[in-house]
Chains A and B, each alone.
Chain A
Amino acid sequence: MPNLQSSVLVIGGGISGIQASLDLTKLGFKVYLVEIKPTIGGAMAQLDKIYPTLDCSLCILAPKMVDIYRNPNIELFTYSNVKNIRGSAGDYTITIIRKPRYIKEDLCKGCGDCGEICPVRGIPSEFDTHLKTRGAIYMPFPSSVPPIYLIEESKCLYLNYRICGLCAKACKPEAIDFLQKPEEIDLKVGAIVIATGYIQEMPDVYDSFAGSSPNVFSSMQFERLLSANGPTGGQIIRLDDKKHPHSIAFIQCVGSRDVHHPECKKYCSAICCMNSAKEAIVVKEHDPSIDCYIFNTEVRAKGKNFYEFIEKSKNEYNVKYVNGHVSYIKENLDNGKLKLYYEDIDKGKVGTFEADMAILASALSPPPSYHELLRKLNVGCNNLGYIHETDIILLEKKNIFVTGYSRKPNDIQMAVAEGSACAAKISEILYHVRFQNIKKLKYPPEIPVKLEDEPRVGILICQCGINIGGIVNVSEVVDYVSKLPYVVHVEENMYSCSSDSQERIKELIIKYNLNRFIVASCTPRTHEQLFKNTLREAGLNPFLFELVNIRNQDSWVHQNEPKKATKKACDLIRMYLAKVINLKPLETIKVKVEKSTLIIGGGIAGITAAYNLANQGFEIYLVDKKSFLGGVALEFIDLYYIPITKNEILKEIKDLKNKSNVHILLNSVIDDIQGYVGNYQVKVKNIHDNSKNKTFNVGTIIVATGTKQIKTSRWVNLSERYPKRLLTQTELTEMKDADVPEFKDATIILCVDQRRNEFNTGDNIKTYCSNICCGVALKNIEKLLNINHNAHIHILYREFQFSDLNAENLWRRLRKKVTYERYRSIDDIKICDENDNFHIVYYNVGAQINIEYNTDLLILATPKVPVDDTEQLAKLLKVSTNTNGFFLEADAKLRPIDFATEGIFLCGGAHWPKWIGETITQAYGAAGRAAIIMAKGEIETECITSYINEEKCIGCGKCIEICPYNAIELVEIYKEMGLYNISVRKARVINAVCKGCGACIVECSVGAIDQNHFSKFQINKMIDLLPSLDAMDYEIV
């Protein structure tokens, strides 16, 4: 075995790289994160909002970026490049070139004095997609990580002509160093992760789309335009005449899905349809009077709740979808509008349209650095510009992993899951050397804070760019707040979440000897943890902190009433001040974690997770209802679009059976689950044999229950009459070639009773898209053509939903043999039987007429639903499901494989129907997330729990009845009563189980229970201080 290195190189600091890095450090590896740009964050940092949650993109990304920056086990190399890679799997030597920033990283405070004084102006800013300008010395964007400046060499007057040098004089910490040279650094790593992301290029086809017009934007440019910290401060205006547009046209598939034009990409970029829908919704929310038109060939909404999102944009926001491909755009010089020429598919003619603004959803592709990297690794790429799937497997054997957009076009959710998956795989390979190179987070000793101590409160008020400062008069708030009692120091700043602000908080705490802290900024839901960590680093108990929400719940919602918004901010801070001075320091409790996992579902997801975790040395309990492992994947005759074969899966199952730390429980269902993260007691019941029932303890749980295809009531009379010739897709897939009945003409109908809008939901009619039917249909066509080469095959579709590169290729290839026919609504299709044949009548969208024909084999793509006992399992696990019955993840984008409940993870079809490739990725991801909890062997529990005052408790047991988590128990204690010892019953909270809802407190009739951090006294104080004390409102009598 070669000398294994306990560190990992991650190339690319976008969301996928960030996720991989964070997970890797928690699994016990040192990470070197190399990013070619001066800041990490990638494309996600540039986005305004994310779909389908419409969360602010930077808001949820920034805490992760700061996490990277503060993690002692991540060494960050920004503005750096990989020069070469030597060595072999497990022991690579990497040479990195760090380009000179001409700034000493450790001295720069990011104050911006240098940027202000720099005489060079008008350089287009890359971050703002050339819509904004900057100087020669600049920071890419306000919350860059690292938060420091750099000098662009080619533009700097001093570096080129030896004149100027003003910045060096302006810089107080003397951080500017004109003598810096490129640095070469050698790193030793055991594995490599490639996560270089995408860029949006402007190919030459743009000329035909009036690309040079100031009112034509790429989708990323428009994203910056919408963003509050973008070039127009979030205002939607035409850049030439500064007028508000009345109509905006979004043009899909610009420079992509085009096989003829050499400049164009042949594949679908996967995210543009959703992205445009999101942008249109954001526009509508800014100003409902703007008309949004989306010109598309077909809408591809491939993801959980994505189709519903598109429907929402149509129905709730009145975004209009025009079915047609735009061929070119001309500027109309008379009225300054843009004239679009497009093929109107619905009307079957060429149409024109005038819009004030056009947004081009142009192709996304891997950056040049990606191809350079592949060249260094000696692997080629396919004609689409991506690595071959087979090469990915090959690279994985060499401990090199490809994730995110570098693997194939995909959205943030998959990028995150893949990041976690890479971490899990690396943890499996380098299992022997983990924790060897890791630095422990060392916190300074906690400053003891007693309740009697006079509170000394520090307050930081955030401007959040112009988000808060543009409406709330922050300096007035500072003025007001500084006069309140116990407030020692108040300060305003630009971005409280930035890493320099964290340093500032620490400084303040020490300088003013503070023992409580308040930050008034955005929402605690995203940022509380960040500040709590900062407090702890400064030596203060993290629970002596409150975050006051003056952005989401103040400045953003009172944009027209700046005076009142300011007053509200004052009031809120005053209320939270009342709470914060009454806060108590809380201690976390460490709980031992069982190093074992329960995996529910032995399909491909379950097997993959089990295999990975078993190799990491954890104990596995794999439970499946069926009598064999392998799930639907083994029932299928063929596996689609993935470079693994059925034999490989069978081998994996066999390996799994031979492992001593894997317990496989077949024919079994979960009977009961008790306990909490780190310590679940599981009872498993064998369906046939009660003596095989088992009880065991596990630390984490992975849910991998999968999906199944159902039959709907549509054409039920036909399927009863011809059970052999009217099949669902799954039935055909599972059928051996010989069993397929003879046919001359076969028809596959897609979207049967799925992707319907909510008005026609009924029994088994679904609103969502089952994701895989289109791709499966293509494979089924291949299968049918194999059986009967001369058969005529129709495929009736609404919109093809694959963005998979292979599926797209197959679709093109099959075009010669199959007729793709587009229908409008499933209700338009009428089928009856005629001389033992199916007679189909439907309205064809392309031809604009009713078409009739006979067919003798009918295959339906009916919805995929979660397996039967999902609801029941959700109850046992105390997790929730969404309206479609699928398990609900913690966050659609950044925590796609976690449940809100800690210690339980989700993968595969239980999340949403998906391809085997995606299932495997998610399974690895879930395994990695589970391993993070178990790797250390202990976790820290919640602090916000209930506690019971034993003196007051009368042992009535009311709280026990009401507690949804069984977190309260009755204990018998002995009390001295004069001469006698009598036993009394008292309630007691089990800290590790208590989730801190507080329901018991109100139930207690003697007031014996209270909650940490939300105590009765604290909330009462807040209520007392709510009535406005604004001096303006009162007069002294």
Chain B
Amino acid sequence: MQWIMKLFNLGGLILLKIKKKVKSEFEPNILVFCCNWCSYAGADLAGVSRFQYPPNIRIIRVMCSSRVDPTFVLRAFNNGIDGVLIIGCHMGDCHYMKGFEYTQVRMVHLKNLIRYIGIEADRFQLHSISASEGKQFSELIKDFTKKIIEFGELKIPKKSGIFELEYNCTKK
């Protein structure tokens, strides 16, 4: 299992030795979870139709929005990612019928938790995009990025403790 450790360290080690340059312009890191069937297709359509949006997002494809574990979001914030977006299908359009409903319920709780930790709750949002809404996708990303830039760089309040806990249980 040595190599797993190696990669695991890749993120951490380098970060230890180096420090982020202070740049005049703030370029946020934004993580987006898209479900395979609607929102990912919507993102693809935005591409096909060449709707431009800011290049700060990184999309992780999952089969359904209900796959997104709240711990993913927490981990992202812990890693210093400035905003997290989960995009699923429209209510009732979920490829797995009820997946998006589950997601909605879960994310309400998560949002409360995030607020409780002391992070601006709007750094995390849940939205719906269908496969034919390329335009809406790009608009959404534009708005969200703007919002995150307004918030500025993520500062995790010290002593929240919640992250260490989470780290330990997902370490495998």
Contacts and interface: CB of A to CB of B under 8 A. Distances in A.
27 contacts: A49-B48, A54-B45, A285-B50, A285-B51, A525-B41, A525-B44, A549-B59, A552-B48, A565-B55, A581-B7, A878-B97, A998-B64, A999-B66, A999-B99, A999-B102, A1001-B67, A1014-B62, A1014-B63, A1017-B172, A1019-B60, A1019-B62, A1024-B79, A1026-B58, A1027-B80, A1029-B11, A1033-B20, A1037-B18
A245 interface: no
B21 A998 contact: no
A578 to B, nearest CB: 6
A524 B17 contact: no
Contacts of B40: 523, 525
A962 B103 CA distance: 12
Nearest to B14: A1029
B72 A1020 contact: yes
Contact of B67 (A556, A560, A997, A1007): A997
B7 to A, nearest CB: 6
B63 A944 contact: yes
B67 A1011 contact: yes
Contacts of A53: 132
A1001 B58 contact: no
Contacts of A1026: 29, 31, 58, 76, 79, 81
Given A523-B44, A1002-B70, A1035 B55 contact: no
A1034 B62 contact: no
A1022 to B, nearest CB: 6
B66 A551 contact: no
Given A1002-B67, A1027-B79, A1035 B21 contact: yes
B91 to A, nearest CB: 13
Interface of B: 1, 3-4, 6-8, 10-11, 14-15, 17-21, 23, 29, 31, 36, 40-41, 43-53, 55, 58-64, 66-72, 75-76, 79-81, 93, 95-99, 102, 106, 132, 138, 169-170, 172
B96 A1002 contact: no
B59 A557 contact: no
Interface of A: 49, 53-56, 285-286, 452, 454-455, 485-486, 523-525, 549, 551-554, 556-561, 564-565, 567-568, 571-572, 575, 578, 581-582, 878, 880, 900, 944, 962, 964-965, 995-999, 1001-1003, 1007, 1011, 1014, 1016-1017, 1019-1029, 1032-1037
B63 A553 contact: no
Contacts of B61: 524, 549
B83 to A, nearest CB: 11
B48 A556 contact: yes
Contacts of B3: 454-455, 486, 581
A559 B52 contact: yes
B117 to A, nearest CB: 17
B75 A557 contact: no
A1027 B55 contact: no
Contacts of B59: 549, 553, 572
A748 to B, nearest CB: 35
Nearest to A1017: B172
Given A998-B66, A998-B67, A964 B80 contact: no
Contacts of A944: 63
Contacts of A575: 58, 60
A880 B93 contact: yes
A452 B11 contact: no
Given A53-B132, A581-B7, A999-B96, A1022 B60 contact: yes
Given A1023-B81, A1027-B29, A1036-B18, A558 B67 contact: no
Given A553-B47, A1037-B17, A561 B55 contact: yes
B110 to A, nearest CB: 11
Nearest to A561: B55
A900 B95 contact: yes
A1023 B63 contact: no
B62 to A, nearest CB: 6
User: Which of B10, B19, B31, B48 has most A Cβ within 10 Å?
Assistant: B48
A964 B138 contact: no
A56 B50 CA distance: 12
Nearest to B41: A525
A557 B10 contact: no
Contacts of A965: 96
A146 B80 CA distance: 49
Contacts of B6: 485
The 10 A-B residue pairs with the shortest CB-CB distance, nearest first, are A552-B47, A998-B67, A997-B96, A999-B66, A556-B47, A997-B64, A564-B55, A1034-B18, A552-B44, A558-B55
A49 to B, nearest CB: 8
B99 A1007 contact: no
A379 B154 CA distance: 76
A1021 B75 CA distance: 10
Nearest to B45: A54
Contact of B19 (A523, A1020, A1037): A1037
Contacts of B20: 1033-1034
A1017 B58 CA distance: 18
Given A1001-B67, A1014-B63, 10 more contacts: A454-B3, A525-B41, A557-B138, A558-B53, A564-B55, A962-B102, A996-B63, A999-B96, A1014-B62, A1017-B172
A999 B67 contact: yes
Nearest to A562: B55
B16 to A, nearest CB: 10
B86 to A, nearest CB: 12
B58 to A, nearest CB: 5
Contacts of A1017: 170, 172
Contacts of A1035: 18-19, 21
Contacts of A559: 50, 52
B102 to A, nearest CB: 5
Contacts of A578: 7
B102 A1003 contact: yes
Nearest to A49: B48
B11 A1034 contact: no
A54 B63 CA distance: 23
B7 A557 contact: no
Contact of A568 (B45, B58, B64): B58
A161 to B, nearest CB: 47
A557 B59 CA distance: 13
Contact of B53 (A557, A995, A1024): A557
B158 to A, nearest CB: 19
Contacts of A581: 3, 7
Contacts of A1028: 29
Contacts of A582: 4
Contact of B66 (A558, A900, A1002): A1002
B17 A1036 contact: yes
A56 B48 CA distance: 7
A964 B72 CA distance: 23
Contact of B62 (A54, A485, A998, A1037): A998
A568 B150 CA distance: 22
A777 to B, nearest CB: 32
B48 A286 contact: no
A486 B8 CA distance: 13
Nearest to B82: A1027
B72 A1023 contact: yes
B68 A557 contact: no
A1016 B170 contact: yes
A575 B29 CA distance: 13
Given A1014-B67, A1033-B20, A486 B51 contact: no
Contact of B11 (A524, A564, A1027, A1036): A1027
Nearest to B75: A1023
A571 B46 CA distance: 20
B58 A1034 contact: no
A1027 B46 CA distance: 24
B23 A1033 contact: yes
Contacts of A1037: 17-19
A880 B89 CA distance: 13
B19 A1034 contact: yes
